[in-house]
Amino acid sequence: MPSVENMTSADTTRPQRVGFRRQLAIDTGYTLLGFPLATASFVVAVTGLSAGLGTLVVIVGLPVLAGTLLLARLFADIERLRIPAVLRMPRTRPIYRTSQRGDGIWKRMFTPLSQTQSWLDLVHAILHFPIAVTAFSVVVSWWASAIGGTSVSTQVPSRSQLQLMQIPGRPYSNWADPPLHRRLDGKAGEAAPLHPTIDKGRTALLHKQVR
């Protein structure tokens, strides 16, 4: 009997290589879409397996298990269609044994039950769920941090923006140099407050950095 490793069919055309940004979008979409697919396959696999084993003694469990294995095969085929774009490798699919014409209903029912690959698809549907949940959480957290950090950095005024707020006729001093809220106006030892616009902007910037 041929092994599962030998019962495969593969496309000879390799997916075209793509740029970094496009590959990043593909990987992100693969992970985000993989979470609902993994959830659905996990629910179907666990529910079908439990119901099938629980009613196996009254023979009702056989068609339930057969249907569960066929649904697990469907989810496995969806995963095989999605994986080539991520790994940039040709698509592979095991050759499942099918029922012959004229076979009875019981023989057709036992066909998926007697194949090792059908049970491997079921195991994949169950074990893939925690991996998909972890990957989904990491990707969402990473993108949220990246977008949030970019938006915060764009709100911090630059040195050139602070220079535009300087009062005409008065020298500009680096906002990072002490003192932060006051400067000397030229008179010996006499401190004068900054312009309200400059003082407000520099104080707000200081509070952001302290946080």
39 and 136 housed in the same domain: yes
**pLDDT tens digits for 23-40?**
889 999 999 999 999 999
pLDDT-derived band at 4, boundaries 50, 70, 90: very low
Q: What are phi and psi of 27, to 5 degrees?
A: -65, -40
145 and 163 housed in the same domain: no
Residue with the larger pLDDT of the pair 78 and 174: 78
* Pair 103, 185 in one domain: no
- pLDDT of 68 above 50: yes
Locus of tokens 């006499």: 190
Looking at per-residue confidence, does 19 or 165 come out higher?
19
What percent of the chain shows pLDDT beyond 90?
Answer: 34
Q: How far apart are the first and last CA of the chain?
A: 68
The answer on 196 and 137 residing in a single domain is: no
pLDDT at 175: 45
**Residue listed under structure tokens 């009997």:** 1
Residue of higher predicted confidence among 120 and 20: 120
Whether 178 is in a domain gets the answer yes
Residues 145 and 181 in one domain: no
Q: Are residues 184 and 80 in the same domain?
A: no
What does the alpha-carbon distance between residue 90 and residue 11 come to, in Å, rounded to a whole number? 5
d(CA 127, CA 117): 15
Number of structural domains found in the chain: 2
Residue 20 pLDDT > 90, yes or no?
no
Q: Is residue 182 part of a domain?
A: yes
pLDDT band (50, 70, 90) for residue 43:
very high
> Can you give the pTM of this predicted structure?
0.61
Dihedral sign for Cα 117, 13, 88, 39, please: negative
User: From the CB of residue 35, how many other CB atoms can be counted at a distance below 10 Å?
Assistant: 18
99 and 201 fall within a common domain: no
Of the three residues 153, 180, 197, the one that is the final residue of a domain is 153
- Using CA atoms, how far residue 71 sits from 102, 125, 187, in Å, is 24, 10, 85
Note whether 107 and 168 are same-domain residues: no
Residue numbers of the domain that contains 176: 159-210
Query: Is 3 inside any structural domain?
Result: no
Confidence band, pLDDT 50/70/90 cuts, at residue 58 = confident
Tell me which of 153, 169, 191 is where a domain ends. 153
Q: Do 146 and 164 have their domain in common? A: no
Per-residue confidence (pLDDT) for residue 16, from 0 to 100: 62
Is the CB of residue 28 less than 8 Å from the CB of residue 35? no
Same domain assignment for residues 186 and 103: no
